[in-house]
Amino acid sequence: MPALADLLDVQELDLQLDRLRHERQSLPELDRYKKVANDLSKVEKRLEKEGAELRQLELDTDKADGELTIVESHLEETEKRLFSGGMSARETENMRAQVDQIRTQKGTAEELVLGLLEKLDTSRDIVKTTEGEQATLNQEKESLESQIKGIWKRIDAEMERKQQRRDEAVAPVPADLVELYDKLRQSKEGVGIAALANGVCGGCRLSLSALERSEVAEMDPPRCVHCRRLLVV
């Protein structure tokens, strides 16, 4: 039956196409890409949080800095008044106490600013480190993308060639036989037709006795008595 022999060619091409399809979906680069994309999204979330913390610290520092400037000018004015004299001893005494109090305020404000500047430094370092991680992951992601695209391009071209050959090979096979073959392929691990070689079915690898072989030869179309696959005898 020449149609069955053609179908055997179709089968071989279908298996090759299955393998290529599988290869396309199970590239190690794809796994790596998924991991990198996942890491990147985690790093981006962290960066968002760290960035928000940094912005808050900048605001706090600006505010503390502004408050320090106010205290400094207040101190300057009060000292000027104190040094310009012309006050009673009691007024001078009060003014001196005020200056002392403002100096203490200034010390506290300076400490606050210094503390915030330190935190700001640390926070900037953290953001910078995370930005570095982000850049590295982005680079890796892009490189993997282009690797995957390259491999897929090669596989797709190969699949297109095989598909074309498959279309040619299947053309002369009667439609009902193709339908049966497709159905068998779905339920039998992609193998719908096999050749009988040395009395062994190429599909299920089981032997057929002489009697079974002659039974099979009588069938239209011939099918393995064990696995029911189409059989080229």
- Residues binding Zn ion: number (CB under 5 A): 6
Q: Which residues pair with 207 in a beta bridge?
A: 200
Site for Zn ion in 147-206 (CB under 5 A): 201, 203-204
Please tell me the distance from the alpha carbon of residue 229 to that of residue 8, in angstroms, as a whole number: 12
Is there binding between residue 95 and Zn ion (CB under 5 A)?
A: no
SS3 sequence of 23-87: HHHCCHHHHHHHHHHHHHHHHHHHHHHHHHHHHHHHHHHHHHHHHHHHHHHHHHHHHHHHHHCCC
Residues with Cβ < 8 Å from 95, sequence gap 6 or more?
78, 81, 82, 87
Distance CA 226, CA 222 (A): 12
Cis before 221? omega within 30: yes
Q: How far is the CB of 20 from Zn ion (least distance, A)?
A: 25
Our CB check for Zn ion shows the closer of 20 and 195 to be 195
Rounded to the nearest angstrom, the gap between the alpha carbon of residue 125 and the centroid of all alpha carbons in its chain is 26
Which region, judged by CB under 5 A, interacts with Zn ion, from 23-31, 58-66, 71-79, 217-225?
A: 217-225
Collapse the DSSP code of 197 into the 3-class scheme (helix H, G, I; strand E, B; otherwise coil) and give the result. Answer: strand
- Note whether 224 binds Zn ion by CB under 5 A: yes
Which residue lies nearer to Zn ion by CB, 70 or 197? 197
Cβ at position 208, least distance to Zn ion in Å: 8
**Interaction with Zn ion in 197-216: which residues (CB under 5 A)?**
201, 203-204
Q: Which stretch binds Zn ion (CB under 5 A): 73-81, 143-151, 176-184, 218-226?
A: 218-226
Least Å distance, CB 224 to Zn ion, is 3
Q: 20, 47, 112, 227: which one contacts Zn ion (CB under 5 A)?
A: 227
Retrieve residue 26's tokens.
């199970």
71 lies in the binding site for Zn ion (CB under 5 A) = no
Task: Specify the stretch interacting with Zn ion by CB under 5 A; choose among 15-23, 29-37, 180-188, 219-227.
Answer: 219-227
Output the smallest distance, CB 43 to Zn ion, in A: 54
Backbone angles phi, psi at 232, to 5 degrees: -95, 115
Contact residues for Zn ion, defined by CB under 5 A: 201, 203-204, 224, 226-227
